[in-house]
Amino acid sequence: MMNISDERPIERVLVVGYGVMGRGIAQTFGAGGFDTVVWSRRAAALTDLPPRVRAVDRLPDAAPDLVIESVLEDVAVKQQVYAAIEAVYTAPVIIGTNSSGLPLETLGATLVHPERFVGTHYFMPAEVVPVVEVMAGPDTPRAVVDRVAEAMRRTGKDAVTLYKPITGYLINRLQHCILHEAYHLIETGVASPSEIDRVARLMLGPRLCVNGLVEQKDIGGLEIHGNAQRAIVPALEHSGVPNRYLQALLKRGETGIDAGKGFYDWSGCDPRSVRRQTVTRLNALPEFLKTGLGETAERTTPKQRPVEPAE
């Protein structure tokens, strides 16, 4: 396990991979004042490095405190990266993966030091979205998770800590619960994509911004909510398999805006312009939530309660 010397703050960060996510992750650490290095085979050709970030095509001599792997979503490829890191450095380097769906139990199975393995799940665009999830591997102590989360917070992120590994982390599990039902409603002709997005923007989104997901139910009353659960949950889509409608789109090559078609027809739209507009809105929203909703005004904040087992 990690010794007391490993409790120092993280200062040196190595980002492996320089795709869209890798670049965004490196940008956050560079902007946060960390000694930030990108390891990429294309290091010599990279001309768009963020400020205070440098690139190398071989592992640097000085061991990083934290490695964040952001390469292809392939178990073997990721494990090759981990093996290379552990082969070069004898210092207690923490290895994090930005994988959003691959189980940490599988990814970390070949590690020499699984107690130094965490999930570091950023959301696209990584340099804009304020939340990042930090999740323990099967053998990772809480102190390691907390040390990584503290570094994330120094980059300006709101770090969600998960001390137990679970497929999909917290946020993607919640997202996919909603999306799986939404795809089912589209497939069965109950609602169109635009209708679903309209209610998400006009009702679900604003309500979640104000009171969150669970707190809202306390405010509305759990008796009403409990009765609704008994009526609705049995009727939800519980197949346990990926949605057929979505999988059919993928087979036809209708993969979204870059292909010109997905759930929507994007023909004639410039993908870069659409994404820039999204980034602009995402940048503006957190500040609005702080000021427009009166974060500094008096607000009743409930106390946390321990989770009790159901009888």
265-286 pLDDT, tens digit each: 999 999 999 988 988 888 787 7
Q: Kindly tell me if the per-residue pLDDT of 290 is higher than 80.
A: no
Residue range 210-216: average pLDDT? 90
Is residue 295 a contact partner of residue 289, using CB atoms and an 8 Å limit?
yes
Instruction: List the one residue out of 295, 163, 179 whose CA is nearest residue 237.
Output: 179
pLDDT in tens, 156-181: 999 999 999 999 999 999 999 999 99
Residue 268 CB partners (closer than 8 Å, separation 6+): none
Residue 135 contacts residue 145 (beta carbons within 8 Å)? yes
User: How high is the pLDDT of residue 293?
Assistant: 62
pTM of the model: 0.85
Token pair recorded at residue 120: 């570091």
Which residue, among 110, 170, 112, has the nearest Cα to 136 in the 3D structure?
Answer: 170
DSSP code at position 304: P
At 274 the pLDDT is 93
Look at residue 296 in the predicted model and tell me its pLDDT: 47
Separation CA 36–CA 28 (nearest Å): 9
The label of the residue with tokens 């040390």 reads 147
φ, ψ dihedrals at 273, nearest 5°: -65, -40
pLDDT band at 4; cut points 50, 70, 90:
very low
| CA-wise closest residue to 94 among 50, 47, 44, 145 | 145
pLDDT above 70 covers a percentage of the chain that reads: 94
- Tell me 132's DSSP state: E
